[in-house]
Copies of this chain bind each other. A is one copy, B any other.
């Protein structure tokens, strides 16, 4: 236990290099104990912050009460406040995902959009040590790789988790000690069953056997996280040795791959960015024993045995690179996935879905026919939330796309303007605004 939570926070920020002095934070605040403690701690630490609150509208008046509570909190700290309301139920329905997935996707997408649009350096969430331990334990029981065992990362993209060092009991003690009020954490609602089951049924007997299990598991998680960096280092070196590029075809020498160990893991890491699923790795490895001409088709590529090589070619090459879409079309197939189109009234849409594979555009700016085509050098667009245009090649670097991932990006074009980098970001000029009446809804589903 840390004698002083504020000191603990400062040390953790330094140790994990969470952010630089003066960088403004956007705190994700549900109003629950954890996020209230986080807000108070950053206030005491003198770190400038704004508050963001999502109303999932799942618990009627309670959801309203929570929102009101957070509004009060923002006033108390004189912090800028951003709030939004999600039609979570509609999103679940539309995307056929669980409440948990819906809430997470909506929340993180909106937080990131708000962060980018309003110019905050980082989003901070109030995950603590117990959350982390529960997550890893659940991943372990569900089956996972090393990545599932490293737990919740202190830094991930633009999100930081400054309370991972702290135990739940410490945060509650801090709340009591400082006399802070809070509401029931609605984010707990969003993954009610399994997490609460682990919290109330699995963890207690573990703590009976090992009273210090939580910090000990947290230590394990931290060591796994460091070990994973070394793992990645070795994987990168193997990939470099095994992948030969010629134009937009990649080749892997059969003999060299056969001699690589551990074969299954390396093969997975090698082929996953060419759309190979974990279940397909064994099929790909069978190619090492097969005759020339046999191949495995992944979501995005074909992996073909050709004499002493495995050739990896994008599926796109074998199909039309430009697809013309007329206004009346509602469904389009393309290499790697399919696109659904639908026009509807703004009022009927409800809240705007936040999943990256869905785009909602203002119909009045759209000109037909649309073109669905591969991106090309020189393409640019105005990424949602930005006032300046950006080259796609630059955008892909920011998004950390690998070469083969880039090969598979589609863009949707209207009157020579990119309206959507498919599955990634819409163009700001086509977004829905106050004045929007009719909406073009697009949904991209990848083939895996």
Task: Mark A residues whose CB is within 8 Å of B.
Answer: 137, 139-146, 148-149, 194, 197-198, 201-202, 205-206, 208-210, 212-213, 215-217, 219-220, 223-224, 226-231, 233-235, 237-238, 261-262, 264-266
Q: Is A209's CB under 8 angstroms from B202's CB?
A: yes
- Given A206-B202, A234-B231, check contact A226 B262 (CB 8 Å): yes
**Which residues of chain B have C-beta atoms less than 8 A from A264's C-beta?**
226
Q: Whole-angstrom distance between the alpha carbons of A202 and B145 in the complex?
A: 22
Q: Give this chain's copy count.
A: 2
Looking at the assembled complex, report how far the CB atom of A371 sits from the nearest CB atom of chain B, in whole angstroms.
42
Interchain CB contact under 8 A, A141 and B206: yes
28 residue pairs A–B, Cβ–Cβ below 8 Å:
A137-B140, A140-B140, A141-B206, A141-B210, A142-B213, A143-B219, A144-B220, A145-B227, A146-B227, A148-B220, A149-B149, A194-B209, A197-B208, A197-B209, A201-B205, A223-B265, A226-B264, A227-B227, A227-B228, A227-B231, A229-B262, A230-B230, A230-B231, A230-B235, A230-B238, A230-B262, A231-B231, A231-B234
Asked if residues A145 and B220 are in contact (CB atoms below 8 Å), the reply is: yes
Q: Are A265 and B148 in contact (CB under 8 A)?
A: no
- Docked complex Cα distance between A144 and B217 (Å): 8
Interface of A is mostly: helix
- For the complex formed, measure the closest distance between the CB of A214 and the CB atoms of chain B, giving whole angstroms: 9
Asked whether, in the complex, the Cβ of B217 is within 8 Å of the Cβ of A140, the reply is: yes
CB–CB A230/B265 < 8 A: yes
Give the residues in chain B near A205, CB-CB below 8 Å: 197, 201-202, 205
In the complex the two chains form, what is the Cα distance from A1 to B413 in whole Å? 51
> Cβ of A140 and Cβ of B198 under 8 Å apart?
no
Is A220 within 8 A of B262, CB to CB? Answer: no
